[in-house]
Every structure is written in C-alpha cells, then in structure tokens.
C-alpha cells in the first residue's frame, strides 16, 4: 500500500511539474574596466522595456562574463552596477525564443569622488525560496509589527504551533530552533517563553531549513528554524529607535534602540529592546474517565512585567585575511501567570455535579540568559578559509507557583476542604562549546570539514511545600533534584561540485553522545519508618553516523530538478527524562520517562524549480521511535501527561510555492500538504495508537504599493485538521491580517499600522482518546489586536567604495551564514 501511494504521488508530482515551455533564450556579455580588464562580481540587472520591471539578476564571474537565461521572448535592457564605478546601460535587446544574444562589452568608468558614497534603500522580498531553505524577511513585512517570535513562527510557511506551544514543520514535530546560527538549548515551554520575549522589531528574518547539510548539527528531524536578529552593516556611525503599541483586550508596549559604528578596521554594535504586556487566554477541557466527568473552564492572565533583550559586540579586521570578534547577548524577563476557573467533577451515571474544584493560583517566573562568543576567521585568495568559535551560555529560570485547590459541594456550594501547595523550581543551564570549520577548493569542487565539542549541564531543584495558613511545610516525598549533563562530540566532512548539467553535494557527520541524569530526593520507608535518600540515574553513551546528499540537475536553468536525502536525530529534553511527578492540580500531573529514547528520521526528497519561481518539493520521511505526549491514567480518576516513543511515523509531504510581481502588486503563496500515519501498541485494548491524517496548510501574502510612500499588505494562513503530538486530533485554524505602512522623513522613518486576526477566527480545539479516557479541549488568546509601530533611522546611511570595506562585509556575511558560535561545525 505504501509503495502504491508513493508511486501515485510521484506520478502526480511529475505531471504537475512537466510544463511545456518554449526553448529559453539566453543573453551573454562581458564587463570591463577602462583598461579593458575584466570586472569580477559586477551586478547585472535585466529589466523589461515595457514597464522597467526587474526580470532577473546575475553577477559576473572571475573573467567578467555573465549569462542570463531570460524568462520569455520580449524587449529588455541591462543595467550594470559596481561599487565605485558609474552605472552603465545597454540599448534595447529584442529577444526571441531559442536565440542567444551577445551584448557588446560594457566598459565602466570610475564614479566621481562625490558619488563614491551611496545611500542604500533596498528592500528584500517578503519571502524568498532557495534550494535548501525558505526565508521570511520580517523587517520588510508590515503585518509582522507587534508580534512576538512565537506568533511570527505560527504564521510562517509550513510551520505549526500546537496547543502546548510545541513547533512542527510539514507535519513533523522534531524542529530545532537556532538564534543567529546557534542552536538554542531550550525546548518545550522554556523555548516558547523565550520566543514570546522576542519582538518583531528585533528580528531581521526567519530561515526555515528543511534539508540541512552535514555541517549542521544532526538534531532536528523536521529541520531547522534559524531566527536572525538585526545587525547594522552600514559604514560610519548610525542607529535607529523604534516604539510600538498593541491593544486587544489589554494594552502592550515595546521599544528599542540600536547603535553601530563601523570603519575599515573596526565594527562596534549594540542594541536593546524592551517589552511589557498583559495577555488574556482561555482554556476549556471536558474529560471522561471511568465513572467521572471533569469539566474544566479556566481564565488565564499572563503578565509580562518587563522583558529586556540586549546584544553587543565588536569585530576587528586585522587585515584582508584575518578577523577577530566578540559578541555578548542576553535576555532578562519577569512574568506572572494567574489562573482561575472551576473544574466541575460530575458522577457520570447520574450526570450530577458532586464537587467543584477551584484550582486558582499564580506562577511567578523569572528567566535570565547571557551568552558569550569569541570568534576568529582566516581567509586567503584561492578559497581557503578557517573559522574558529568558542562559546559560553548561561540560563537561569526560577519558578514560584502558588496553587490552592479549594473544593465545594456540587449541590449546596458549601466549602468542603482545601489542599494548598507551593512549588519552587529553580533551573540553571550552562553551555560550553568550541568548534572549528575549514573549507578549500578541491578537485574542481569545494571541500569542507570540521568538528565541535559541546557540553550542556542542567540543574533543576524542585521543592514542594504544603501550605497551612501562614505556615509552609516542606514535602520531602514530592520534592527532588534532577541534574542532567550531556556531551556531544562531532566531526563532519562535506563536498560539493558542479558538473556539466548537474551539481552534487554529499556529506557525512559523526556524533558521539554521552549523557548522565541523576534524580535525587528523600523517600519514606514504610518498614523502617525513616526517610531515605534515593538516586535514580540515567546514563547513555552512543555513536551515530548521519549521511546527507543532494543532486541538482541544472542543464536547463528554466526547469531544474533535485534529489535529496538526510538522516537526523532528536534527543529527549531533560524535562522529559526526569521521572519525578509535577502536579498541575489534584487530578492532573506531569511525569518524565527515563526510558525515552532518541527518535531517528530518514528523509527522501524530490524538488523542482520552474522559471526560478515555481518551487515544488515532494518528501517522504520515516521516523523511528517518534516522541508522543500521552494522556495516561492512574488511581481510577487521575490523569498524567508523559512522553513515550511511538513505534513509527510515516509522512509524505508536498510543498508548492510561487511568487508573483506586476508593477505595484506582489504576491507570494505557499501550500503544504502531507499524509501521516502514527502507529504504536502500549498494551493492547485502549492503549494503542493507530491514527492517520491528510492535512493541508496554506500561507499567502499580498503587497500593494499605493504611491506617496504608502504600502498596504494583506496576509493569511489556514491549517486543516491534523494530529498534534501523536494522539491529539486538532481541528482547523485560520486567520487573516491587514496592515498599512507610510515612509516619512525622506525614507528615514517608517510608521506601520496593522490588525491581526481581523475576523477573530484564531482558536484551537480537538480531542484525544487513550487508556480509557476521552478528552476534548479548546482555547484562544488575544489574537485580534490593533498594532502601531514607528521606526526612525539616524546617522550615516552610506556605504563607501573600499576594498577593505568589501572584505569586511563579505567576512560578516560568511560568518553569519556559517552560524558562528554554538552552531557551525558542531552546528
């Protein structure tokens, strides 16, 4: 059955992509300096004569030669740009299908001294689709204003965020999040809280990398989401300020400042952002277990009392070959979550409320993080390049939860009794890593290899107290300390080379994992009548090999095909391994699983790009021991959540994206569909999982240039019913946003206004059946908001022509692209 389904989808894919096109025309030419010498890396811009719209961009090679495959027959003209030279234009080029036009050599003249500084005002497209990743350019998107990092991901192409803020990509739940090319150690609720502290004003772009090479860490079976924070690359002294205001049910505020100084030898930069908000949420759950019904209705208020994000650094360009840099960044946040609402406990045979539980409480949470990076780059002509990075990161998370459980009679409303608890849970995470990457030209291709040593130490000390009035008594039986240490040693080799009509990329990564977890506490011995120390240890050591490969067939540039393969891993998070029980209320708790194993994924893909615009990707993945969150049962009426390994997941996905631009209107759409099957047997009868789903997600963005500095935007997404965490069958989610932007002060200022979820349709809901209990749940938040933002740039906005300047920019782009720090060779 599986083979037939794969064959059918492959056939449909082939038919959809086999578009009959005219034989493409081609334009070639050469760019020279006044002495007749070739100019390398000149920018060639091909415009349509009828409306001066841009058709294609190319760059000259080392011999000053360029080749442009045109989109279709018509009249065009060429503009040639090089920093420090005057722009040059060709005459009209009448292009016919199937012919090759050779443009007379273009000779560029030096620019006047007064013109050797140019003001950069370019704008990136909203979404870029490349061979290995999709890029959402946040700073160019009006409707991103006022969103935090998690909301931006919720609205990104192919990304889903479930009811517990877990991320999935194209139906797969193993997503690894990177910040500026460095993998974040946070997962689950800790990662979600950090992403909520990031504001859109800080974020430059979001990169969705579905087929990472061997140079990246093997973790992340669905791929990698890399969030790039803003960094100014302009010469001289400059900066910007921003301020924002959102209003839904409650008001929210954010603001920031960025400063930068750069010359030919030194770049010093820094930024600071602050946000404060009050957010309203609702949560409803109806659970049937044995002879009891639990009908829960919670109202939740999240108070962000202040989130501070900062980044500072320096790059020193020793010479044209060597650069040394240091970066410090961090986050300080203080949050309070207040939860209230009744839990009706109903006796099912009579359908009468026997008791009502009010688990009204508050959870105070402080999250502090600081990271240090020291980096060095050495590059010489001929393609040899060495990058070295050393990193240290520190995370401190302190939770203080007060939870009263007050019980009332279901008939009279009289108070029966109370169970009151306080849970204090400090967590410290320390990260150490050192890595190196080396690349050079080899056998007409590019060879790269490197390695990394990474250490993560986690210490969580959970303390529970029983509260009696003003007295708090330490509960030895329900307190514990969990220490988890993980060391990953990695080495990789990667090679890519172009041949006539096709290109290859192949890599192999080896990772050695050593982990040790210790859960300690006191447990009452009923025989001796004393408390005794217990020690539950988890120790694992294993070595894995992760191959990756890609072949691109580019003989016809207008219709390019590709084949990809990769093997990846997801290791359990420390919270999922801790065997201790964390109480949510008297009837619900969470529990880790020391037997949780890593999940492994083998992915196979076929890609097709038509006329550089229509991108299609067909992918099949087989996941072994996939993680799932199971709502299990105990003590007849109690429920607990735990992570377990499902036997397998098989998933087939088809992704299609297309950008369109005509004069003042541009459009981008991304459609992702997938079929997934989950299967596991945890003991037969009601303890089996056998679910399958066909799901579709749709993302679109429209931009309208209205003139006089005004731009409008309309965007939206739709996620069909799907399965979250292997067992929860969710219903559809969708939303539409609209916004307007106006540039001010000769382009130095921008004001943006937007409304998110215009029709107030954003909500989640679904159901789950496992181990004799059936649950339905739903929730929503302040998704519909009016958002206002203002940004003002100041100082120098010019880029000066200079060989050293060009080298520094190329160095910065290379280092950022390679991930720097905790990413890279162990990336």
Given a cut of 50, is residue 389 above it in pLDDT?
yes
Predicted confidence band of residue 420 (pLDDT cuts 50, 70, 90): very high
Cα separation, 229 vs 202, in Å, equals 6
Given a cut of 90, is residue 458 above it in pLDDT?
yes
Q: pLDDT per residue over 85-104, tens digit each?
A: 788 888 788 887 777 888 88
Average pLDDT over residues 731-751: 92
Highest mean pLDDT, choosing among 65-74, 82-91, 421-430, 809-818: 421-430
Cα separation, 121 vs 259, in Å, equals 18
Cα separation, 355 vs 343, in Å, equals 9
Predicted confidence band of residue 659 (pLDDT cuts 50, 70, 90): confident
Cα separation, 56 vs 98, in Å, equals 18
Q: Look at residue 40 in the predicted model and tell me its pLDDT.
A: 82
780-804 b/e with 16+ CB inside 10 Å = b? bbbbbbebebbbebebbbebbbeee
Bridge-partner residues for 401, per DSSP?
363, 423
Tell me the three-class secondary structure of 158-206, residue by residue: CEEECCCCCEEECCECCEEEEECCEECCCCHHHHHHHHHHCEHHHEEEE
Q: Look at residue 264 in the predicted model and tell me its pLDDT.
A: 78
Average pLDDT over residues 790-817: 55
Q: Look at residue 119 in the predicted model and tell me its pLDDT.
A: 43
Q: Look at residue 53 in the predicted model and tell me its pLDDT.
A: 67
Given a cut of 60, is residue 106 above it in pLDDT?
yes
Cα separation, 556 vs 564, in Å, equals 19
Predicted confidence band of residue 277 (pLDDT cuts 50, 70, 90): very high
Given a cut of 60, is residue 472 above it in pLDDT?
yes
Q: Look at residue 19 in the predicted model and tell me its pLDDT.
A: 36
Average pLDDT over residues 653-661: 88
Q: Which two tokens stand for residue 348?
A: 């099912």
Cα distance from N-terminal residue to C-terminal residue, the chain: 38
Q: Look at residue 243 in the predicted model and tell me its pLDDT.
A: 94
Q: Which of 13-22, 379-388, 762-771 has the lowest mean pLDDT?
A: 13-22
The DSSP bridge pattern shows strands 728-730 and 182-183 to be unpaired
Q: Which residue has the higher pLDDT, 70 or 15?
A: 70
Q: pLDDT per residue over 246-269, tens digit each?
A: 999 999 999 999 998 888 788 899
Torsion angles phi and psi, residue 547, rounded to 5: -80, 155
Given a cut of 70, is residue 635 above it in pLDDT?
no
100-134 b/e with 16+ CB inside 10 Å = b? ebebeebbbeebeeeebeeeeeeeeebbebeebbb
Cα separation, 821 vs 393, in Å, equals 10
Three-state DSSP state, 782: coil
Q: pLDDT per residue over 137-170, tens digit each?
A: 887 677 777 677 878 887 777 787 876 777 877 7
Cα separation, 823 vs 826, in Å, equals 6
Cα separation, 611 vs 634, in Å, equals 59
Q: Which H helix or E strand runs over 741?
A: strand 733-744
Average pLDDT over residues 534-561: 87
Given a cut of 90, is residue 486 above it in pLDDT?
yes
């Amino acid at each position: 059955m599986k083979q037939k389904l794969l064959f059918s989808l492959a056939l449909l894919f082939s038919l959809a992509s086999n578009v009959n096109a005219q034989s493409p025309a081609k334009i070639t030419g050469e760019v020279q300096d006044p002495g007749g010498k070739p100019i390398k890396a000149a920018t060639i811009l091909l415009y349509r004569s009828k409306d001066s719209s841009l058709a294609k961009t190319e760059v000259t090679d080392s011999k000053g030669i360029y080749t442009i495959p045109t989109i279709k027959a018509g009249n065009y003209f060429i503009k040639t740009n090089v920093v420090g030279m005057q722009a040059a234009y060709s005459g009209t080029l009448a292009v016919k299908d199937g012919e090759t036009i050779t443009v007379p050599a273009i000779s560029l003249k030096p620019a006047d001294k007064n013109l050797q500084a140019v003001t950069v005002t370019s704008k990136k497209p909203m979404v870029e689709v490349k061979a290995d990743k999709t890029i959402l350019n946040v700073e160019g998107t009006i409707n991103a204003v006022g969103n935090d990092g998690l909301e931006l991901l919720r609205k990104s192409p192919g990304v889903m965020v479930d009811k517990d803020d877990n991320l999935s990509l194209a139906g797969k739940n193993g997503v690894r999040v990177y910040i500026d090319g460095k993998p974040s150690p946070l997962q689950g609720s800790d990662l979600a809280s950090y992403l909520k502290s990031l504001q859109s004003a800080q974020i430059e772009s979001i990169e969705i990398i579905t087929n990472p090479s061997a140079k990246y860490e093997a973790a992340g079976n669905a791929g990698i989401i890399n969030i790039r924070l803003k960094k100014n690359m302009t010469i001289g002294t400059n900066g910007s300020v921003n301020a924002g205001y959102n209003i839904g049910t409650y008001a929210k505020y954010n603001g920031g400042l960025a400063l930068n100084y750069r010359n030919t030898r030194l770049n010093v930069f820094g930024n600071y952002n602050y946000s404060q908000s009050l957010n309203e949420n609702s949560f409803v759950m109806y659970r049937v277990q044995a002879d009891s019904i639990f009908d829960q209705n919670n109202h939740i208020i999240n108070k962000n009392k202040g989130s501070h994000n900062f980044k500072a650094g320096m790059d020193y360009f020793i010479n044209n070959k060597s650069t040394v840099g240091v970066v410090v960044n961090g986050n300080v946040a203080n949050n309070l979550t207040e939860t209230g609402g009744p839990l009706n406990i109903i006796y099912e045979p009579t359908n009468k409320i026997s008791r009502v539980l009010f688990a009204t409480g508050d959870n105070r949470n402080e999250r502090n993080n600081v990271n240090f990076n020291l980096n060095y780059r050495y590059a010489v002509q001929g393609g040899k390049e060495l990058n070295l990075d050393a990193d240290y990161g520190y995370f401190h998370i302190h939770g203080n939860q007060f939870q009263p459980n007050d019980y009332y009679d279901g008939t009279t409303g009289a108070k029966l009794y109370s169970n009151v608890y306080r849970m204090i849970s400090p967590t410290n995470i320390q990260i150490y890593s050192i890595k190196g990457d080396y690349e050079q030209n080899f056998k007409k291709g590019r060879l790269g290899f490197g390695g990394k040593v990474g250490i993560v130490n986690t210490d969580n000390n959970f303390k529970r107290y029983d509260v009696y009035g003003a007295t708090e008594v330490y509960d030895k039986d329900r307190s514990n300390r969990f220490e988890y240490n993980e060391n990953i040693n990695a080495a990789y080799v990667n090679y890519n080379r172009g041949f006539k009509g096709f290109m290859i990329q192949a890599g192999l990564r080896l990772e050695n994992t050593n982990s040790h977890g210790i859960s300690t506490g006191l447990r009452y011995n009923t025989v001796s009548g004393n408390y005794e120390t217990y020690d539950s240890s988890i120790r694992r050591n294993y070595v894995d090999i992760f191959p990756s490969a890609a072949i691109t067939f580019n003989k016809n540039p207008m219709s390019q095909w590709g084949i990809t393969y990769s093997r990846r891993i997801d290791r359990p998070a420390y919270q999922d391994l801790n065997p201790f029980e964390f109480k949510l209320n008297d009837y619900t708790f969470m529990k880790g699983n020391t037997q949780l194993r890593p999940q492994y994924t083998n992915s196979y893909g076929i890609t097709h790009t038509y006329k550089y615009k229509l991108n299609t990707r067909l992918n099949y993945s087989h996941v072994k021991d996939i993680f799932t969150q199971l709502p299990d049962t105990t003590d007849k009426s109690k429920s607990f959540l735990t992570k377990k390994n499902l036997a397998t997941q098989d998933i087939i996905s088809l992704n299609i994206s297309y950008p369109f631009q005509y004069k003042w209107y541009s459009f981008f759409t991304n459609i992702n569909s997938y079929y997934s099957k989950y299967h596991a047997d945890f003991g037969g009868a009601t303890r089996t999982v056998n679910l399958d789903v066909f799901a579709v997600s749709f993302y679109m963005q429209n931009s309208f240039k209205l003139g006089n500095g005004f731009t409008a935007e309309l965007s939206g997404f739709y996620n069909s019913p799907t399965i979250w965490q292997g067992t929860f069958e969710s219903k559809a989610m969708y939303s539409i946003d609209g916004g307007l932007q106006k540039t001010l002060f000769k382009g130095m200022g921008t004001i943006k206004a937007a409304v998110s979820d215009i029709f107030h349709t954003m909500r989640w809901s679904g159901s789950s059946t496992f181990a004799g209990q059936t649950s339905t749940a739903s929730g929503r938040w302040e998704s519909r908001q009016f958002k206002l933002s203002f940004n003002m740039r100041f100082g120098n906005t010019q880029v000066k022509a200079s060989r050293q300047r060009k080298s520094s920019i190329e160095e910065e782009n290379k280092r950022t692209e390679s991930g720097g720090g905790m990413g890279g060779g162990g990336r």
